[in-house]
């Protein structure tokens, strides 16, 4: 395992919520802890839905990743339009 010198790069917790931080900075924070909880649970669900699941060291070409993402997005869009 590669050890990186920046103190935040080796912290898995810091890296895990980096995506959430990038989204709530533009919103200037949350109004309440309930709003933060709702956002984080919804964000986590959609991140896991669209995330590529691969085996270790498996290379998935960007075209295949894009196709899989488009298929999942179309399925989700159809689900919302049917409801």
For residue 10, what are the contacts with CB-CB under 8 A and spacing of at least 6? Answer: 3, 4
Among the listed residues 54, 46, 53, the one whose alpha carbon sits nearest the alpha carbon of residue 80: 46
Q: Domain locations in the chain?
A: 10-51, 56-83
47-62 confidence digits (pLDDT tens) = 888 887 778 888 888 8
pLDDT greater than 70 at residue 2: no
63-79 confidence digits (pLDDT tens) = 998 998 999 899 989 98
How sure is the predictor about 10, in pLDDT bands with cuts at 50, 70 and 90? low
State residue 74's pLDDT score. Answer: 93
16-34 confidence digits (pLDDT tens) = 666 666 666 666 667 777 8
CB 69, CB 50: distance < 8 Å:
yes
The span from the CA of 65 to the CA of 71, in Å, is: 10
């Amino acid at each position: 395992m590669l050890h990186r010198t920046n103190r935040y790069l080796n912290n898995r917790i810091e890296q895990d919520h980096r995506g959430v931080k990038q989204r709530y900075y533009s919103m200037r924070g949350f109004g309440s802890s309930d709003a933060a909880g709702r956002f984080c649970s919804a964000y986590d669900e959609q991140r896991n839905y669209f995330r590529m699941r691969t085996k270790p060291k498996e290379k998935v070409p960007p075209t295949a990743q894009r196709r899989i993402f488009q298929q999942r997005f179309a399925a989700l869009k159809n689900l919302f339009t049917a409801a």
